């Protein structure tokens, strides 16, 4: 929205311009001779001279027509400052109409799969392909085009889940979004506490070779009193809170001593947006099927190996 000063300025400028065009049009109209003439304008170029004949009438009428069009357009559509036009047209309204039309056309395509459970739909290559397309358009930005994740964005193909890998858990994650909240502990447990507990969980995960037993014991104490509530006594995590398993080799925020210490000292706060209002449940159903399928492949591969 323009300020009323600029709005007024635009209106005055537009109207003044139109008035000037009308003025020029009518003064030349009145000065027109009605008869064809042999007088020249005095311009001569390479022996070619210009006759001083009036403009053809149809040409003038064309000017009048464009003027009427301009006046009509400015009355109906937003063209003068903040004036919204008699039709109430807006570009967002136009976009919404297009989107509605688009939805009406494609909704049945998505709707036909809505009632098939994901566990079954995953065997339908067409549905999985549609899910993949939705994924590439909406999710790849964060999770990667191969869904392999990145620092802070979980790998969705490894069958290792923050919030659970059942069809229902994946659907809830996508529909409602998630927000993992790892508090910052630096001020609570101090720098030594951070170092000790980081060493303890990394040793637990097989990442530290010759840890000092005293440090491990001190780290375990911090762990039991401060961390076990969320990450569980066995450090295998808690999917209700999205608290990761700290014993496996999947690390959302890196497994180096420095990264783990940073996580503990400063906290982490991963945000997965909610998609129900953006995609709607039918498209979420398809993209969830795609995510589910990535891990089905994995499971199959693991089974082959065993």
* Backbone region of residue 164 per phi and psi (left: phi > 0; alpha: psi in -120 to 50; beta: other values): left
> For residues 128 and 292, what is the distance between their CA atoms, to the nearest angstrom?
9
- d(CA 303, CA 287) in angstroms, rounded, equals 25
Options 157, 242, 293, 295; binder of ligand HEC; rule CB under 6 A: 242
CB hemisphere CA count around 12 (13 angstroms):
6
Residue choice 124, 215, 226, 232 for contact with ligand HEC (CB under 6 A): 226
Gap between the Cα atoms of 37 and 27, Å rounded: 20
CA angle 269, 140, 120 (to 5 degrees): 100
Q: Which of 229, 297, 300, 302 binds ligand HEC (CB under 6 A)?
A: 229
At a CB cut-off of 8 Å and minimum separation 6, what does 13 contact? Answer: none
Nearest distance in Å: CB 285, ligand HEC: 11
Residue from 85, 59, 60 nearest 72 by CA: 85
Tell me the chain's radius of gyration from C-alpha atoms. 35
Q: Which of 29, 63, 163, 262 binds ligand HEC (CB under 6 A)?
A: 163
Which residue number, 80 or 201, has a Cβ lying nearer to ligand HEC? 201
Give the contact letters, 186-225, x = binds to ligand HEC (CB under 6 A), - = no.
-----------x---x--------------------x---
Residues 244-303 that bind ligand HEC (CB under 6 A): 244, 246, 251-253, 260, 263-264, 268-273, 275, 287, 291
In the range 143-162, which residues lie near ligand HEC by CB under 6 A? 143, 152-154, 156, 161-162
Residues found near ligand HEC in the complex (CB under 6 A): 135, 138-139, 141-143, 152-154, 156, 161-163, 170, 173-174, 178-183, 185, 197, 201, 222, 226-227, 229-231, 241-244, 246, 251-253, 260, 263-264, 268-273, 275, 287, 291
């Amino acid at each position: 929205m323009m300020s009323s000063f600029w709005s007024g300025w635009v209106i005055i400028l537009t109207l003044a311009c139109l008035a000037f065009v009308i003025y020029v049009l009518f003064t030349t109209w009145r000065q027109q001779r009605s008869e064809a003439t042999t007088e020249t304008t005095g311009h001569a170029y390479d022996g070619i001279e210009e006759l001083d004949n009036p403009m053809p009438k149809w040409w003038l009428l064309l000017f009048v027509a464009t003027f009427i069009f301009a006046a009509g357009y400015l009355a109906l559509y937003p063209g003068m400052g903040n004036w919204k036009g008699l039709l109430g047209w807006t570009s967002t309204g136009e976009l919404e109409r297009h989107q509605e039309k688009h939805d009406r056309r494609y909704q049945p395509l998505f709707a036909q799969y809505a009632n098939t459970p994901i566990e079954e739909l995953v065997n339908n290559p067409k549905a999985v392909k549609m899910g993949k397309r939705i994924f590439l358009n909406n999710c790849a930005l964060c999770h990667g085009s191969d869904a392999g994740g990145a620092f802070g964005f979980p790998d969705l193909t490894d069958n290792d889940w923050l919030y659970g890998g059942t069809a229902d858990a994946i659907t809830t994650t996508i529909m409602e979004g998630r927000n993992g909240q790892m508090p910052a502990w630096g001020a609570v447990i101090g720098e030594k506490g951070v170092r000790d507990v980081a060493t303890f969980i990394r040793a637990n995960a097989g990442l530290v070779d010759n840890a000092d037993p005293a440090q491990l014991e001190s780290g375990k104490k911090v762990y039991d009193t401060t961390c076990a509530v969320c990450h569980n006594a066995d450090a295998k995590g808690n999917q209700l809170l999205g608290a990761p398993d700290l014993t496996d080799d999947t690390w959302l925020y890196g497994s180096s001593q420095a990264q783990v210490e940073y996580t503990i000292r400063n906290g982490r706060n991963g945000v997965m947006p909610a998609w129900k209002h953006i995609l709607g449940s039918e498209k979420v159903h398809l993209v969830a099927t795609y995510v589910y399928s990535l891990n089905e492949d994995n499971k199959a591969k693991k089974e082959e190996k065993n």
